[in-house]
Structure 1
């Protein structure tokens, strides 16, 4: 009996060893596949996201797949993968807006992602879950997940980047300057555009505002936009916008706020030149203040004019209504 049991036990060990080797080989293959799309499954990373987006050396990708240092690298049902690269010589904050489109090309929703403090030359990878709730609704609550969006095709709608040192700040820790400056979403009516700039003294010293902010429109490459006149006040463009109040000295004590208004039109005239767009505006609250780069998306048409109102104390009466 002992002699007959020994061979049987050895055969069982051999079988187990063969099974273990097969499982190990299969596991290695799975990990390699997952790593090519989203990291090894053994590390807790999600499974690959669809099909990698093909690229060819020397062949630029369409802007819906690559622009502004951002590239969609893979897409599939329910998700997309992308990477953000900073080609600049200083840290940047990068905001990416994705457009989700149906198979027929209809826009379903927009999703945005922001990478802050991206180091020079660095690349950060991200993943977009298309089945997650969409953009906030009117009450500020996330919209329910749209089953169509979970099957949508993601595209890059726009990419906006600002130097981290000049990023606007609407909350969080007080900047070293002691001033928070940011732009609101603005209003539009019959070709007239109005956007507010808000300033809050979050520091410990009183700041004196001297009438008008310094405003510099910038193009998509963050370069000054030639041929645009920055007007003091908005009366030459439209009245009743809140940008034509007379300038006055304001001593802004800690905790107090002020605002100013940008006014422009997007109209075009034949033979006047090409329409001009300035996605960015560099703002200095006072001549010696640190610059802040906001993104009001100036579509100036062929008008060549931008009105900037004087600083006024921030009130709680709401935004002024533009008069065409």
Structure 2
């Protein structure tokens, strides 16, 4: 894997493991942190002892996705607390009948109280980390679907060390006339002057041109 960017980046590759008939067995995800600009690194992918395609009959694995985020903005779900004192990351989400829901999780891992009030600040980015225009970011999800957890009113939340909050992203992938819009990266700030974190929810917005973002809500249990 190669980092074509201008700053150290965490590079995540998703491999599809193949059965002997060429069908997909499952996916394996590997992340290499802090790949230097222009550098190429190699790593082994463990196949887990499962029967896969045989040599000479086809590849054992194929790459189905590559994502690259600046190391300074990489989500930190575990490990040492970031310098900002906040962890922010996206979950795996849920998809049903064209409706997509992804949670953004924020946790105070620092030593001081942090206050959030309202909605996260979002910047939608393409595969080259360039801003994507023409998408309306709606406050809440009611214009897209109800019952997603994105419609609670904004409130001021003081997060003590160890406490957390959640915001919910909601969209549909309906495609009609026009060009579908895909958003591989979202740069998130928990509040306007917070340190940015780049997540990879892969928003398949279809031609809807809309993304709902819920206000931060307290999430005291494990995220």
Q: Fold conserved (TM > 0.5)? A: yes
**Aligned residue in 2 for 1:107:** 24
Contact 2:21–2:53 (CA under 8 A) maintained in structure 1: no
SS in structure 1 of the partner of residue 43 of structure 2: strand
Specify which of 200, 204, 216 is matched with residue 295 of structure 1. Answer: 200
CA distance in 1, matches of 2:10, 2:54: 28
Shift of 1:225: 1.3
**Aligned residue in 2 for 1:203:** 110
Deviations 1:255-286 (A, max 9, x none): 110010000000111x2x11111011110001
**Aligned residue in 2 for 1:283:** 188
Higher relative contact order (CA 8 A, sep 6+): 2
SS in structure 2 of the partner of residue 128 of structure 1: coil
- Residues 106-255 of structure 1: matches in 2 within 5 Å? 106-130=23-47, 133=48, 145-148=49-52, 153=59, 154-255=61-162
Name which of structure 1's ranges 206-215 and 308-317 shifts more when overlaid on structure 2.
308-317
Contact 1:108–1:149 (CA under 8 A) maintained in structure 2: no
CA distance in 1, matches of 2:200, 2:51: 32
Deviations 1:45-84 (A, max 9, x none): xxxxxxxxxxxxxxxxxxxxxxxxxxxxxxxxxxxxxxx2
For the pair shown, the structure with the greater C-alpha radius of gyration is 1
CA distance in 1, matches of 2:73, 2:157: 24
Deviations 1:190-212 (A, max 9, x none): 10000000000011111110211
CA distance in 2, matches of 1:317, 1:178: 17
Contact 2:173–2:206 (CA under 8 A) maintained in structure 1: yes
CA distance in 2, matches of 1:291, 1:297: 18
CA distance in 1, matches of 2:216, 2:196: 16
Equivalences, count: 220
TM-score (norm 1): 0.65
Higher strand proportion: 2
TM-score (norm 2): 0.93
Contact 2:20–2:54 (CA under 8 A) maintained in structure 1: no
RMSD of aligned Cα (Å): 1.7
Contact 2:19–2:51 (CA under 8 A) maintained in structure 1: no
Unaligned runs of 5+ residues in structure 2 are none
